[in-house]
Structure formats: structure tokens, C-alpha cells
Amino acid sequence: MTNDIIKQKLTEKFGDVFTEWLEPYGMLTFTAPKDLNVKVLQFLFDDERLKFRFLTDLQAVHYPDRKGEELAVVYHLHNLVDNVRIRFKVFVPVEKPDVFTATSLYAGANFMERETFDFYGVNFVGHPNLIRILNVDEMDYFPLRKEFPLEDQTRIDKDDDMFGR
């Protein structure tokens, strides 16, 4: 199983809808339209040659400079038979971060999607129990978005000379 075979099968099935084909460190990476995420996952799962039946990880990344597609939901899939891994991303706007849930296909997506919702605010449409999993329910923001400075610049108890600045 090679990256070229995976790319060819995806292109045969979906056409030229995928973008940003890369192979960092040999791992095939591509971007899919957000409305096709479950269809792509289903195809990768069902195809007898591809067999991507293990969801290794699911998380989000905040790109505040990408207007209209600030949040990326990233899926890492593993074909355990051929020991091949791939990564694919879908981008959504921060104003309406709706992505279809993968819980019907991968049971392990349940907690991963809840964590991604909890920290980034991605709304997984159709998720059976999309509530906060690690943060308190009263939290009205998403702490891993890059909307807040890393340090409070108004603090006076920190002397820059002590930190080599």
C-alpha cells in the first residue's frame, strides 16, 4: 500500500475535491471539503484495499489568519493490516464551526469530538452527547483558540530583567 494508491483511489471516488496533498515524513496528508468528512471516512473504512479502520486521533487547530476557515478538524487514520497512516483535514469558519460527527463509524470518536468541542468549540452535528468533558460547564469560551495572549501584559509583578528580556 503506497500513498500513490491511496491518492488514486480517493481521486477515482471523489474527483478533484481534495486539496493540499502533502507527504510530511512520508504520511499522506490532504484537505477535504467539510461537508464530505463522513463520506471520506466511510470510504476509507469500507474500501477493501484501503482498510483505514482505526481512528488514531481527532483534534482541531486554530488558524486565526485563515479568514473563513479558521478552525481545522484533523483526522489521523491507521490501516492496521498494512501499517499505513494518513491524515486529512477539514476547515470550518469560527463563526459556524459545524462538522458532521464520526461517532457512527468510529466509537472512539465520541470522547475525541467532545474534547475538541470543549477546547475549540467545534460543533459535531449528530454527536450523541456533545457536552464539555474536561472544562467546567460554566466556561463561556474555548481555551485553546488563539484569541487570548499567552501572558497578561499588564502584570507588574514580573520583571523582564529576571527573565532575560
pLDDT at 147: 85
Domain limits, the chain: 3-163
Instruction: Report how far apart, in Å, the C-alpha atoms of 75 and of each of 18, 81, 161, 162 are.
Output: 14, 19, 43, 42
- pLDDT at position 71 is 97
Angle at 39 between CA 32 and CA 122, to 5 degrees: 60
pLDDT tens track for 74-105: 999 999 999 999 999 999 999 999 999 999 99
What residues pair up with 59 in beta bridges, in sequence order? Answer: 74
Q: What is the mean pLDDT of the chain?
A: 92
Mean pLDDT of 110-138: 95
| pLDDT band at 119; cut points 50, 70, 90 | very high
CATH number assigned to the domain covering 3-163: 3.30.460.80
